Structure 1
Amino acid sequence: MSKKKGLSVDEKRKRMMEVFYEKKDVFQLKELEKICPKEKGITPMSVKDILQSLVDDDMVCAEKIGTSNYFWCFPSQAVLSRKRKLEEINTEVEGLKKRKANNGAAIEEAKKLRVEGAERSELLEEIGVKEKMLAAVTNEVLKYKECDPEVLEQKKKEILTSKESINRWTDNIFSVQSWCKNKFSIETKTMCKNFGIPEELDYVE
């Protein structure tokens, strides 16, 4: 049997607000700790934290009278709170729109003020010349790549590896020839002719 999933924070906040809207009364924390679990399924341990979050967001009013704290929120207050929040958001959006417009105007003004001076043109031309020179030198270097010591060393290693491979296969052929001669009395010359093996086959020095 699967375990019942608990309420999310948003769901708890919503249900606690329902208590204020439905009861239209003023409460102390201990009263909410009895009502919310019984009527809205909010765990007693989380009532205080949920209530505080609503107070912090100006959704629930709080007032200390004497030694006791009282909490309330009437539907009309919730509407006013939402209107005030909407006005704040709209004001912020308008401010951002103005900043965007001002930044755009500043960019356009900077573009107009930028002058293509003679010095800048000369520098751009010089950069173009240097880039062409670099490309030409790079192509020239590539022509002599075969003379590069590192390239030559790599070629030597490749040649040595190839020689070792050739001599290993040559040795294998000689072994097979010797075995066939001893086992079946087949002459080496006959075997070379039948299998297309050069008679002058020998190890590479």
Structure 2
Amino acid sequence: MSKKRGLSAEEKRTKMLEIFHNSKDFFQLKELEKIAPKEKGITMQSVKEVVQSLVDDHLVDSEKIGTSIYFWSFPSKVKNAKKRKLNDMQNELAECTKKLKKTEEAIASESVGREATEERTEILKLLEEMTKKEEALKKELQKYRDSDPEYIAQLKNEIEDLKTAANRWTENIYILKSYMKNTFQCENEVIDQMFNIPPDLDYIE
């Protein structure tokens, strides 16, 4: 003899609602834990969980009166909940339909002049080939850049600017060393050692 299958979560919810709707009465949790196993085959251990899930879904109302919590649900409660859910789904469907229509219109607008004609296909293919050729030429050109007169002239200008800047700082260091020698009576070697100045510091020709 096969073992009797237990109730699914949804079956427990349905049967629990039947207790409320058939009686149209108010219950405490301990009362439901006695009624549900006898009348609907819902195990006492799962009554609290089932009732709470119905409360969370607004299918069962609850109210604390004094130290006790009462639960109740009338058939109209479920009807109103389903009606509210239906309205929400209809509104969501209308919004999705509106977005879909807007997207279709945008696609249609952007597709004008981009029809998959043979001429357009050839142009796109040619464009791809030319782009690849351009990249190859850029790489080839880079190899000969060191021999480019304009590039060499640019490097020379940059080198001259750097040389001028280096000599300017060298001049500043000499001025500072001269000031320290005259003010503090320091020797060149001492100043060089204090400020990590190379002994062979000189202007760049």
TM-score w.r.t. the length of structure 1 is: 0.56
Question: C-alpha displacement at 1:124, in angstroms?
Answer: 2.4
Distance 1:103 1:126, change over 3 A: closer
1:38-90 CA-to-partner distances (Å, cap 9, x unmatched) read 11110000001111111111111122223322111111222111111111111
Q: How does 1:123-142 map to 2 (within 5 A)?
A: 124-125=125-126, 127=128
Give me the CA root mean square deviation.
2.8
1:83-121 CA-to-partner distances (Å, cap 9, x unmatched) read 111111111111111111111111112223769xxxx97
1:123-148 CA-to-partner distances (Å, cap 9, x unmatched) read 62265799xxxxxxxxxxxxxxxxxx
Task: Give the match for residue 103 of structure 2.
Answer: 103
Task: Give the match for residue 155 of structure 1.
Answer: none
SS in 1 for 2:7: coil
Distance 1:124 1:94, change over 3 A: same
Q: Kindly tell me the number of residue pairs found equivalent between the two proteins.
A: 128
Unaligned runs of 5+ residues in structure 2 are 116-120, 132-205
Unaligned runs of 5+ residues in structure 1 are 131-205
Distance 2:94 2:39 in 1: 43
% identical aligned pairs: 50
Q: How does 1:1-205 map to 2 (within 5 A)?
A: 1-112=1-112, 124-125=125-126, 127=128
Residue 34 of structure 2 aligns with an amino acid whose one-letter code is: K
Large movers: runs of 4+ above 4 Å: 120-123, 126-130
1:155-191 CA-to-partner distances (Å, cap 9, x unmatched) read xxxxxxxxxxxxxxxxxxxxxxxxxxxxxxxxxxxxx
Task: Give the match for residue 156 of structure 2.
Answer: none
Question: C-alpha displacement at 1:32, in angstroms?
Answer: 0.6
Distance 1:34 1:22 in 2: 16
